[in-house]
Amino acid sequence: MVSRDQKNWQIAAHIVMIILAALAILPFILLVVASFTQEDVALKYGYSYFPKAFSLEAYKYIGQNASTFVRAYGMTIIVTLFGTVGAIVLTALTGYVLSKRNLPGVKVMNLYVIFTMLFNGGLVATYISYVTIFHIKNTVFALIVPALLMNAFNIMLVRNYFEHSIPEEIYESARIDGASEMTIFFKLVLPLSVPILATIGLMSGIAYWNDWQNALYYIDDKQLYTIQAVLNSINASISALASLGGTSAGVSAANLPSTTIRMAVAVVGILPILCIYPFFQKYFAAGLMAGSVKG
């Protein structure tokens, strides 16, 4: 039995959610439509949901410069792959050790990790130490190591999972069977913690895929640009597209159908993630929730 009052609330809720959903989706539709708009139409009437003429010229241009985008996607995939695997292994190891409450010195080790959540040296100190001590500039490590590889929040998440979800008896029985601690970790602990590690993997994977800041700080060499770095440099200046290399050497920036290319490039940049998003959205939401409710 649903009362009238309840029904009104339901309707109100649906209306608000529909508006929010539309607000979230519509900009992406405009982006796609704009990228298929004919250049002179876009110039004359601006970007529109209902352009007067469609064209593939922007995508043709991207096709001619495919090598730039293929290379950038290659970089993004390499960085995301190594970064995510590295993040999972590092976080799992560290979180597991910290879950051993009677390990001598574990309190200090916890503090060592937690302090990094509270105090941050800031961009200048971090940048200068990475550049002058570790000489990371214009290397692929600059895209993987700084900031993204491991963070204290995820370590705490894993630590709490190990503490609450894996009973101590399991370790004990394995030890009695003569398994070494490494064997226990790889053969027993990791398989049992697939859910939390998958969550951390997903969130790290998204962070690496989306990252443009490390490239902004540490990469000048265009050969090392990820897809986000390419998007960023084109955003900064549309002529960057011509200077990115590929077959465009003869094309001057002035001849570019730049108004629509800009949008087509963005579409190429987000299409893969847009296509698979509906399939991992459930895990994405679960991952966000896991991070939000600590412990």
Partner 1 sequence: MNKKVKTNFNLKHWLPFYLMFAPGFLYLLINNYIPLYGMQLAFKSFSYKKGIAGSRWIGLKNFKFLFATSDAFIMIRNTLLYNLLWIFVGMVFGVTVAILFNEIRNKAAKQFYQTAILLPYLMSMVVVAYLVYAYLAGDTGLINNAIVKGLMGKKDGIKWYSDPKYWPFILTFVQQWKQIGFGMLLYLASLLGIDTSFYEAAMLDGASKWQQIRYITLPLLKPTILMLVILSLGQIFRSDFGLFYQVPMNQGSLYSTTQTIDTYVYRALLENNNVGMSAAASFLQSIVGFIFIMAANKIVRHFDENSSLF
Write out the binding residues for partner 1, residues 145-174 only, by CB under 8 A: 145-147, 149-150, 155
Name the one residue in this structure whose structure tokens are 């409450």. Answer: 101
Phi, psi of 77 (to 5 degrees): -65, -45
Name the one residue in this structure whose structure tokens are 């893969």. Answer: 272
Among 10, 64, 223, 243, binds partner 1 (CB under 8 A): 10
Nearer to partner 1, 71 or 209 (CB): 209
Cα–Cα separations (whole angstroms), residue 184 to 160, 190, 192: 18, 9, 11
Nearer to partner 1, 56 or 284 (CB): 284
Among 59, 73, 100, 272, binds partner 1 (CB under 8 A): 100
Q: Among 91, 194, 79, 196, which Cα is nearest to 142's? A: 79
# residues near partner 1 by CB under 8 A: 104
Token pair for residue 50?
Answer: 């209902």
Cα–Cα separations (whole angstroms), residue 228 to 57, 78, 121, 131, 139: 22, 13, 26, 22, 17
Residue window 180-219: x/- pattern of binding to partner 1, with contact defined by CB under 8 A: xxx--x--------------------x---xxxx--xx--
DSSP 223: G
- Cα distance between residue 202 and residue 210, in whole Å: 12
The answer to whether residue 281 forms part of the interface with partner 1 (CB under 8 A) is yes
Stretch that binds partner 1, among 161-169, 192-200, 238-246, 278-286 (CB under 8 A): 278-286
Nearer to partner 1, 221 or 247 (CB): 221
Cα–Cα separations (whole angstroms), residue 211 to 180, 200, 206, 229: 38, 16, 8, 8
Residue window 216-255: x/- pattern of binding to partner 1, with contact defined by CB under 8 A: xx----------x--xx--xx-------------------
Kindly identify the residues of this chain, within the stretch 36-75, that bind partner 1 according to CB under 8 A: 42-43, 45-49
Stretch that binds partner 1, among 62-70, 165-173, 240-248, 287-295 (CB under 8 A): 287-295
Kindly identify the residues of this chain, within the stretch 111-140, that bind partner 1 according to CB under 8 A: 112-134
